[in-house]
Homo-oligomer: A and B are copies of this chain.
Amino acid sequence: MNGAESLARTLLACGVDTCFANPGTSEMHFVAALDRVPGIRCVLALFEGVATGAADGYARMAGKPAATLLHCGPGLANGLSNLHNASRGHVPIVNIVGDQATYHAPLDPPLAAETATWARPISTWLRTATQPQAVGEFAAEAVRAACTPPGGIATLILPSDASWSEGGVAQGPLRVPAPATLANATLDDVARILRSGEPAMLFLGGDALRAGPLADAHRIAAATGARLMAETFCVRMARGRGRFAIDRLPYNVEPGLATLAGIRHLILVGADDPVAFFAYPDMPGRFAPPDAKVTTLTRPGEDSAEALLRLAELLAAPQLAPPERRTPPPATGVITQANVGQTLAALLPENAVVVEEGVTFGFGLYAPMADAAPHDYLRLVGGAIGDGLPLSTGAAIGAPGRRVIGLQADGSALYTIQALWTQARERLDITTVILSNRRYAILDGELAAVGAAPGPASRALFDLGNPDMDWVHIANGFGVEAARAETMEAFADVFAHANSRPGPFLIELVIL
């Protein structure tokens, strides 16, 4: 068997059965191998950023990595920003990049590039298989590396001669290490802080935002008076009726500082010490008060669920029932964040997957959606916009049978708009709501923060109108049904309709 076939067989043996791909010539032997080795679902993306973002969404829902298949350094480059996002969320991806033959690269053909240099910053594991004999071994290592807590991007670069040459050896799965268990001393320290009565906050991120750990965190808070706060951008949070809600740290610096003001103890649970997204003149970069003591219960990749459960038991915190929440009626009136959030809470399908890249308008949807039917809630975690449509695409494949609801800012959607076609091609059950304000509205605020009045450059650079995008045409062009909603009533009608039918649907919600 050649190297390419050993790669396909090894991936399959290691449980990687989904591949988001945009292949080229140097990947042709792997494509031919995929034709011979049944069992890997190949999903075509029309742009590599769609492939990498979809692999992110898939892994968040499937709980295991997909493979990508990218074409040489420039194909990798096109996928880098969504790999950056996934790496920031510790999401496992087996990132396969075909490349020039080892002996051809020194001739420096036009598409030759520094593939490994570009891959290194976003990769927790990076190898180039220069021999067919190494391909299977490296592929099994890549799967293990991607899955090793806290998870990350394992990049396997595959020169075409390693792919086409005979000598491949398929490998079985390698044992993935379990998350580290917590030292009793750490638990005792945190329990002591929480019992001290000093103002304390449990700051939750990563796996601590699943339903079980959230419930235990609330037991701890109720028993000790500690406050709870979620990181601003979560990989996956359990939300909705029957679950415990949690506030999240605001994005902007001043409200973020205000949220943590007065805290004496910040206890990190699967989250990093929170910092501002950007620096601003004369503003602090960390959100925690300088004199607050930061204590780590669990780092990303440690078992936050077990830690919170053991902590709750150590504190003898009583069990709690989640608060009663009533389904609100769909909102009427003006299109506001609160009203849109209320309608989403009213009509969200049971067990939906919500992907939110709503940027400015999206911020206000979070609070009212606590009243929605139970759902998982996924956000862009790395700040590189253009993750939402690909995330939805991958999440739908990783969570079959569940409706995916994409709440999507218009400017960000345009980054990876090609994802719509993959949604149509794969007939994915996705409702995308474009929050269409026809501006990079977040930049209006940032310019004001600079103390500048809008002038010709900022007007040219922040305005997405002139001409306005026609989202129904764009979606239809990619094979996705679509409708425009200009009132809350129309939005409720079309949102319910979209969710009642199979396949993708796009709604342009016109925000004035």
Rounded to whole angstroms, the CA-CA distance of A63 and B282 in the bound complex is 43
User: Among B42, B417, B424, B456, which residue has its beta carbon within 8 angstroms of that of A461?
Assistant: B42
Q: Are A450 and B417 in contact (CB under 8 A)?
A: no
Please tell me which one of the listed residues B29, B118, B446 contacts residue A80 in the complex, with CB atoms under 8 A apart: B118
A496 interface residue per 8 A CB criterion: no
A343 within 8 A of B: no
Does residue A320 face the partner (Cβ distance < 8 Å to B)?
Answer: no
User: In the bound complex, do residue A110 and residue B233 qualify as a contact, i.e. CB atoms below 8 Å apart?
Assistant: yes
Is A337 an interface position by the 8 A CB rule?
A: no
The answer to whether A300 has its CB under 8 Å from any CB of chain B is: no
Question: A109 near B454 (CB under 8 angstroms)?
Answer: no
Q: Does A476 interact with chain B (Cβ within 8 Å)?
A: yes
Q: Across the interface, which residues of B come within 8 angstroms of A107, CB to CB?
A: 275-276, 285-286
Q: How far is the CA of A454 from the CA of B114 in the complex (A)?
A: 31
In the complex, the answer to whether B415 meets A78 with C-beta atoms within 8 Å is yes
Q: Does A21 contact B (CB under 8 A)?
A: yes
> A150 at the A/B interface (Cβ < 8 Å)?
no
Whether B42 contacts A460 by the Cβ 8 Å rule is yes
The residue from B74, B75, B418, B470 contacting A414, defined by CB atoms under 8 A apart: B418
Q: Contacts of A160 on B, CB cut-off 8 Å?
A: 278-279
Given A100-B279, A467-B421: A450 touches B32 (CB 8 Å cut-off): yes
Pairwise interchain contact B42-A101, C-beta atoms closer than 8 A = no
Please encode chain A, from 253 to 295, with 1 for each CB lying within 8 Å of some chain B CB and 0 for all others: 0000000000000000000100111110100011000000000
**Contact indicator B466/A477 (Cβ below 8 Å):** no
Q: Take A275-B107, A477-B477 as given contacts and tell me if A461 and B31 are in contact as well, using a CB distance cutoff of 8 Å.
A: yes
Contact in complex: A425, B467 (CB < 8 Å): yes
For the complex, give the distance between the alpha carbons of A114 and B117 in Å: 11
CB of A382 within 8 A of chain B?
yes
A272 to B455, CA, bound (A): 46
A457 at the interface (CB under 8 A from B): yes
Say how far A445's CB is from chain B's closest CB, in angstroms.
9
Distance in angstroms from A180 CB to nearest chain B CB is 21
| Min distance, Cβ A14 to any Cβ of chain B, angstroms | 18
Find out whether the CB atom of A21 lies under 8 angstroms from the CB atom of B461: yes
Contact A46 B415 (CB under 8 A): yes
A-B residue pairs in contact (CB < 8 Å), sample of 26? A21-B461, A23-B443, A31-B458, A32-B458, A34-B457, A35-B452, A35-B455, A43-B460, A44-B461, A47-B415, A74-B80, A74-B383, A77-B81, A78-B81, A103-B279, A107-B276, A107-B285, A160-B279, A161-B279, A470-B476, A472-B477, A473-B473, A473-B474, A473-B477, A474-B477, A475-B477
In the complex, given contacts A28-B452, A468-B479, what are 13 additional A-B residue pairs having Cβ atoms less than 8 angstroms apart?
A: A21-B461, A25-B443, A32-B452, A34-B457, A36-B455, A44-B460, A46-B464, A77-B80, A78-B386, A101-B279, A111-B382, A160-B279, A475-B477
5 shortest interchain CB distances as A-B pairs: A35-B455, A467-B479, A474-B477, A74-B384, A473-B477
